[in-house]
């Protein structure tokens, strides 16, 4: 009963602190968490949230000390590891951040959050292929969990942005447009995998996926039409994937996509 009341008190104050952060009253959140930490100094959730608050207040040294304290007690405390990694990365201590993420994943490779953190870091360092490899493998390892697709979805959007710049800088060359088409097609295929493999989709997830599928397919068809107008040769393997996508859409809506 005592433990239950203690947890209820902690949960209530954590909710109040989160509400204060949402309302951008960071100092109020700090005061709440300092008081809670003094009352429950051994609770790792409280220490972690206090560390995160100090980071928001740009007191990175204090934040790092608190988060390392948590990780020392529990090396697999995901939120503390993720938050410390962000502090290290933002401080340009990317090697330390990468080591932190990789050490965590050695014992807990099912973590979608830390996998995404690692992929984001690698992408920011220009290690795109390495990041894509990790993200693709992670989605394949946990196909029934929608969060497992977050790393690959993030990366494909980042690559899309870069390719759009490349298309403009290349004076809209067919080569650049082909790469952009393949990116949109890859996104379309990922959205379909999520729809097929994940059984616990919320109504909002379903609605967002529907929009994503329509958007990515529309981009593919538009780029295909433009490339045809440029008399560009679309590789056979890419055309095969496009044709599969077309048949999928036709079946989905019982229409002829042309």
How far apart are alpha carbons 49 and 63 in whole angstroms? 9
Position 5 pLDDT exceeds 70: no
Give percent of the chain above pLDDT 90. 90
Query: pTM score, two decimals?
Result: 0.89
Q: Per residue in 96-146, pLDDT tens?
A: 999 999 999 998 999 999 999 999 999 999 999 999 999 999 999 999 999
| Position 4 confidence tier, pLDDT thresholds 50, 70, 90 | low
- Token pair for 46: 């409280």
> pLDDT by residue (tens digit) across 115-126?
999 999 999 999
CB 167 within 8 A of CB 180: yes
Q: How far is CA 110 from CA 106, 199, 218, in A?
A: 10, 18, 33
- Per-residue CA distances from 58 to 64, 79, 127, 243 (Å): 11, 18, 28, 52
Name the pLDDT band for 8 (thresholds 50, 70, 90): confident
Residue 66 confidence (pLDDT) = 98
- Phi-psi sector, 217: left (phi>0), alpha (psi -120 to 50), beta: alpha
Per-residue model confidence (pLDDT) at position 255? 55
Domain formed by 18-85, architecture: Alpha Horseshoe (1.25)
Q: Where are the domains of the chain?
A: 18-85
Looking up tokens 């902690």, which residue turns up? 10
CB atoms within 10 A of CB 35: 12
């Amino acid at each position: 009963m005592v433990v239950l009341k203690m947890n209820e008190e902690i949960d209530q104050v954590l909710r109040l602190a989160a509400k204060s952060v949402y309302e951008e009253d960071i100092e109020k959140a700090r005061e709440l968490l300092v008081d809670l930490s003094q009352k429950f100094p051994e609770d790792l959730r409280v220490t972690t949230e206090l560390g995160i608050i100090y980071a928001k207040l740009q007191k990175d040294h204090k934040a790092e000390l608190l988060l390392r304290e948590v990780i020392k007690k529990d090396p697999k405390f995901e939120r503390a590891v993720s938050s410390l990694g962000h502090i290290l990365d933002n401080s340009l201590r990317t090697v330390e951040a990468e080591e932190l993420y990789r050490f965590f994943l050695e014992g807990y490779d099912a973590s979608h959050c830390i996998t995404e953190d690692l992929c984001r870091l690698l992408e920011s360092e220009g290690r795109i292929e390495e990041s894509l490899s990790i993200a693709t493998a992670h989605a394949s390892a946990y196909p029934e969990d929608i969060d497992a697709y977050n790393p690959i979805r993030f990366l494909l959007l980042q690559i899309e942005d870069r390719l759009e710049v490349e298309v403009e800088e290349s004076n809209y060359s067919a080569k650049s447009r082909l790469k952009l088409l393949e990116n949109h097609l890859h996104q379309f295929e990922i959205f379909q995998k999520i729809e097929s493999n994940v059984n616990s989709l919320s109504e909002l997830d379903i609605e967002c996926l529907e929009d994503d599928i329509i958007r990515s397919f529309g981009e593919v068809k538009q780029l295909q039409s433009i490339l045809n107008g440029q008399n560009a040769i679309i590789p056979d393997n890419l055309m095969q994937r496009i044709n599969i996508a077309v048949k999928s859409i036709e079946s989905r809506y019982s229409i002829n996509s042309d």
